[in-house]
Amino acid sequence: MIFRQLVDIETSTYSYLLGCERTHRAVLIDPVASELDVYINLLQSLNLKLIYTLETHVHADHITGSGLLREKLGSKSVLHRDAGALCADLLVTDGVLLQVGDLELEVRHTPGHTSGCVSYVMADRVFTGDSLLINGSGRTDFQQGDAGKLYDSIINKLFSLPADTLVYPGHDYQGNTVSSIKQEMGKNPRLGHGKSREEFIAIMQELKLAYPKFIDKALPANQSCGLVAE
């Protein structure tokens, strides 16, 4: 498998390119619109055809590249059925298996950061979007956020994965690129050490985060797969 973790420095967003060497088919997880040329050049240099853009959720902090990639490369945009983005070409739900060449990804519905959040599970790794972050979690004060639901999602849908499963998040603001289920179960300060649901909810309530600076622009754009009406 071809695997590239890509970072958008401006918003500390991680995107992921996964390619099948046998069939030359690929997916991009959470592509960022401003990085379009990077993706197109990378796909071309690796001789890969982009089949799907897999979104973990409707983002509030950057504009997705899924709509532009569809226009340029004919790829299809994948989102959860509850994400509220009618622009998507393929709407998925919990437990759906997606195959692209020899790549296999299972959709896990992990609501809490948003109601339409999913994680994409492979044999040895999981792409958690803004549900589970390294030493943290997505915020739960916008976009139908719900700390209790996020706790349930992480405990039941992610911490139930094999302990050595690699965790690739949607963001990191400290320069971490990868963790594992075992590491997060151990030392994640919000959920590790067997923290209770009540403790997690209290921690999330006390965060008092600033209003997301980009949300008013990003949300409506991303509900149209990043294609802003002129």
Binding mask 91-130 for Fe ion (x = CB under 5 A): ---------------------------------------x
Is position 74 an interface residue for a copy of itself (rule: CB under 8 A)? yes
Residue span binding Fe ion (CB under 5 A) among the ranges 51-59, 119-127, 178-186, 195-203: 51-59
Q: Which of 29, 43, 50, 51 binds a copy of itself (CB under 8 A)?
A: 51
Helix (H, G, I), strand (E, B) or coil at 2: strand
Is position 160 an interface residue for a copy of itself (rule: CB under 8 A)? no
Query: Dihedral (C-alpha) 166, 105, 55, 151: value to the nearest 10 degrees?
Result: -50
Paired with 32 in beta bridges are 64
| HSE of 218, CA atoms in CB hemisphere, 13 A | 19
Is position 18 an interface residue for a copy of itself (rule: CB under 8 A)? no
H or E stretch at 190:
none
Residue span binding Fe ion (CB under 5 A) among the ranges 56-64, 180-188, 206-214, 218-226: 56-64
What is the token pair recorded at 100? 């692209």
Closest by CA to 179, choosing from 171, 189, 170, 169, is 169
Paired with 17 in beta bridges are 4, 28
Query: What does the DSSP assignment read for 15-32?
Result: EEEEEETTTTEEEEES-B
Q: Which of residues 87-116 bind a copy of itself (CB under 8 A)?
A: 89-93, 95-97, 99-101
Is position 121 an interface residue for a copy of itself (rule: CB under 8 A)? no
Residue span binding a copy of itself (CB under 8 A) among the ranges 40-48, 82-90, 112-120, 166-174: 82-90
Is position 172 an interface residue for Fe ion (rule: CB under 5 A)? no
Q: Which residues of this chain interact with Fe ion, rule CB under 5 A?
A: 59, 130
